[in-house]
Amino acid sequence: MSKPTKAELAKYKSILQSQLASLRGDVGSMRDEALRASDQDASVDHLADQGTDNYDQGFMLGLIENEEETIKLIEEALERIEGRGDWDFGTCPLCAEELEGQKKAPTKKAKGKAAEAWIPKARLEYLPWARYCVRHQEVEERNRESA
């Protein structure tokens, strides 16, 4: 695990940009389809309230929601790559926080851990918009479920 090179950043950036473009296209056409399927008052909120008859629409709206979530994550990742994000692209802010905490009380164990705020490349290759390392992603998801 180490800082991504400029070439790697450029690669992630182009993956993110093309994912973003295709998701935006998807959401647009799914929304059109969901709305077309409805006779009247075609607002997304209204569709969501129509109940079990409209399973397909509900399903599609769920997909739209997921994709909108991913779009947001991708936009944030692009901001991080461009240096406008809340933290450095490719690092896990929660790992960084832990490392910060260790700095105040350095122990033998903490030494050599400095590189661990970097999210493993294998994960970034697969999910360049990942906000956290796998371990913290799981923690976050657990927190969200119990919230």
Q: Which residues of the shown chain bind Zn ion in the complex (CB under 5 A)?
A: 92, 94-95, 133, 136
The amino acid occupying position 120 is P
Give the three-class secondary structure for 68: helix
Cβ 17 to Zn ion shortest distance, Å:
25
Cβ 69 to Zn ion shortest distance, Å:
20
Task: Tell me the CA end-to-end span of the chain in Å, nearest whole number.
Answer: 32
Give the CB-nearest residue to Zn ion.
92
Token code pair at residue 127 = 């999910």
Cβ 87 to Zn ion shortest distance, Å:
11
Residue 129 neighbours by CB under 8 Å, 6+ apart:
16, 19, 70, 73, 74, 76, 77
CB 74 within 8 A of CB 23: yes
Nearer to Zn ion, 30 or 87 (CB): 87
Cβ 82 to Zn ion shortest distance, Å:
22
Nearer to Zn ion, 64 or 95 (CB): 95
Nearer to Zn ion, 46 or 113 (CB): 113
